[in-house]
């Protein structure tokens, strides 16, 4: 795997506050010109744990890329604006 900067289910986030002008809490979309294309293995399996729901509004939720079909199940919620899914459950990597 070329990119070691993947985010994993062991990356937890909590107590986040967003300013009034923040329009995207999460974004797995196309990167700016200073990044690679975000299509490497580490990018594709990006996922993080929103412990208290301060990012997603759902306590104990996991957020991953919308095209990560390995984490998806029928209860996942698509957030198209973020290019992400919000899922419950337990994940390992």
pLDDT, tens digit, 9 for 90 and up, residues 24-81: 888 877 655 655 666 666 666 788 899 999 999 999 999 998 888 888 899 999 999 9
pLDDT confidence of residue 78: 96
Provide the CA 64 distance to its chain's centre, in angstroms: 3
pLDDT confidence of residue 51: 94
pLDDT confidence of residue 25: 84
Q: How many CB atoms lie within 10 A of CB 53?
A: 14
Q: Give the chain's domain count.
A: 1
Residues 6+ apart with CB under 8 A from 79: 26, 56, 66, 85, 86
What's the mean pLDDT in 74-93?
A: 90
Domain membership of residue 1 as a residue range: 1-15+24-93
């Amino acid at each position: 795997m070329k990119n070691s900067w993947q985010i994993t289910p062991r990356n937890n986030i909590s107590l986040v506050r967003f300013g009034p002008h923040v329009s995207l809490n999460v974004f797995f979309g196309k990167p700016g010109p200073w990044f690679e294309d975000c299509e490497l293995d580490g990018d594709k399996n990006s996922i993080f744990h929103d412990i208290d729901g301060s990012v997603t509004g759902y306590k104990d939720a996991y957020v991953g890329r919308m095209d990560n079909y390995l984490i998806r199940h029928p209860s996942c919620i698509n957030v198209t604006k973020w290019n992400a899914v919000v899922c419950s459950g337990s994940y390992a990597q």
